[in-house]
Amino acid sequence: MMYTDDEDLYLSRINAAYTGCILSCNPYIKEYKDFFPFHDSSLSEFILAVPGIVFNIPVTVLKVIYEFLLPFLLSLLIYWLIFRLTKNTWFSILGSIFIILGFNLINSVDLINILDIFHLFRLENNHTQFLIFSRPVNPQFSSIFFFIYLHVLFSAVTKKTYNWFILLALTYGFSFYIYFFTYTFITIIQGVWVVICLLKREWKTFNCFCITTVVGLAIATPHLIEIFRLFQHPYYSTIPTGFLISTHIPDISLLGVMLFLIFIVIIILYIKRFKIITMSAYFIGSLILACFITRNEHIISGMIMQYDHFENYLFSPILVIALCFCLHAFINNIHQKRFYWLIALVSFVPIINACIIQYDFYHFWLYRAINDQKYVPVLEWLKAKIPANVVVYAPESLSALIPIYTHDYVIWSAHAYQWVSVPGRMQDILSSRTSASKFEESTKKYGVDYYIEEKKKDLFLRDKVKKERIYEDEDFVVYKASQ
C-alpha cells in the first residue's frame, strides 16, 4: 500500500537483478535490455537484490523489509555523524528524527515550511506522498551511501591517515554507480576540500585529496565512458530532458542565505570559544559551501538540473545537521543546559508529523490497493505457467506490474521512456489500437508472445485478436500469439 513516486520503476529494476541484470538494463523492453548505453549505470538495485537472491525472497516482500530496515540504518548513520560533530546525544536524536520523519517541516528552499507546520497544528496533512525515505531505491539506499561517505570524509580530515584516504577514494569512486545526484554532490565536496587544503597550505592533505579524487574518477571511468556513449548515440533525443532549464542566472535562495549566516555564526562562536576553527567547523563549512556551488553550477554549465533531488535528499539533511551543530555550539557557549528539555519536547513534532502523513496516505491509497488485488490472479498465473523472458501485450496498469512480479517483458510501459529507445516505438504501440491491421503489424514487429485483455476496458482486443484463449478470470483474458 505504500505507493511512493516511481516506486514500481525501482522495484522492476531490483527484480531484473534477480536474472543477472547487474547494471541498469531495461526491464521493460526485451530487445533493448542492455543493448543501448545507460544514463544511470546504478549498482544499487543489484546490491539490494542480493539478499532476495540468496534467501529466495520475492521483491515485494523485500520491499516491505527495506521500508523499515533501510530508514532505520540511515537514522543510525545520521545520529552517529551528528554525535561525532557535537558529542551530544540530544542533538543527535533531534537531527536524525527531523531528517527521517520531519523532512517536510524544514525545507531547503524556505528553511521552514510554514504551511506544513500550520497543517500539523491542525492535525492535517499537506504532503503529496508517504515519507520520502521509505521509497526504494532512491533516496532510501543512496542516502545511506552518502552518509557513509560523510563519515569516511570526516575520519579522513580528522585522523589524516592513509587508510582513511584509501577508503575515501574507494567510496568516492563507487558513488558513481549509486545515484547521479549523489556522486555529483560528492564530487563538488571533494573539490571544496582540495581548495580548503590549498588555502591552509596543508600540502600532505592537499596531495591526499588530489590523489583520492583522481583514483575515484579512475574507478568511475566505465560509467563516464557509458555517459559519453550515450551523448553520442543517435537515439539520445528519446531520453526525456524536459526537466532541464537553460540559464546562467545565479540562484540565491533562502537556503543559501541561511547557510551562509550559519557559516558566519559557526566561525564567530568557534573563534570566541576555542580561539581557532576546529576541524568539525571546517567539515560543516565545506558541506555548506558545496551546497552553494551545486545550487549555482548552472552559472558555468548553463543547465539547471532537477534541484528538488539535491534539495530534498542532500541539502535539507545538511541544513538540519548544520543547525544542530550551530545550536549545540550556541547552547554550550551560554551554558544553558535547560534547553535540552526543550529539544526533547521538539523531537515529538516530527514524530507526530510522520504519523499523520502515514495515516492519511494509507487511507488515500486504500481504494487503489483494494482495486489492484484484481491483478493478483493473472500475475500469479503468468509467473507459474508462462516461461520467463517472453513479451506480453497488456494494459498500461498491468504492464507496470509485470516486470515486478514476473521475469517477462512488455511491449511498452510509461516507465520505459527512462531508457534510450528506437524513435517511433511508442507511437507505433498507441496507433496500433486504432485498427486491426496496424495492431497485427505492430505486435508481430515487436515479437509479442501473449496478449492480456482487461474485460471491462480492452474490448478492442476481442475483435482484433483471433487467438487461443489460455487463461481467463473475472477481470482478464490471456491469449497466446500464433507462431
How does pLDDT run across 223-264, given as a tens digit for each residue? 998 888 888 888 877 776 655 677 767 766 665 566 667 666
Q: Which of 352, 295, 303, 349 is nearest to 319 (CA)?
A: 295
Q: Which of 17-21, 48-52, 223-227, 423-427 has the lowest mean pLDDT?
A: 423-427
User: pLDDT over 70 for what percent of the chain?
Assistant: 82
Q: Is the pLDDT of residue 300 over 50?
A: yes
Q: Residue 293: what pLDDT?
A: 87
Domain spans, the chain:
65-364, 375-480
pTM score > 0.75 for this model? yes
Q: Is the pLDDT of residue 210 over 90?
A: yes
Q: What is the DSSP string of 133-202?
A: GGSTTTTHHHHHHHHHHHHHHHHHHHH--HHHHHHHHHHHHHHTTT-HHHHHHHHHHHHHHHHHHHHHT-
Q: Is the pLDDT of residue 418 over 50?
A: yes
Per residue in 343-381, pLDDT tens? 888 888 889 888 888 888 888 888 888 888 999 999 999
Chain centroid to CA 113: 22
Report the DSSP pairing between strands 303-304 and 245-246.
Answer: antiparallel
Q: Residue 337: what pLDDT?
A: 64
Which of the two residues, 58 and 296, has the higher pLDDT score? 58
Cell of 160: 589524516
Q: Which of 7, 12, 148, 129 is nearest to 81 (CA)?
A: 148
Q: Is the pLDDT of residue 445 over 90?
A: no
Q: Is the pLDDT of residue 460 over 60?
A: no
The whole-chain average pLDDT of the chain stands at 84
Q: Is the pLDDT of residue 1 over 50?
A: no
CA distances from 182 to 131, 192, 274, 283 (A): 19, 16, 34, 18
Per residue in 108-137, pLDDT tens? 666 666 666 766 666 666 666 778 888 889
Mean pLDDT of 44-65: 93
Q: Is the pLDDT of residue 329 over 90?
A: no
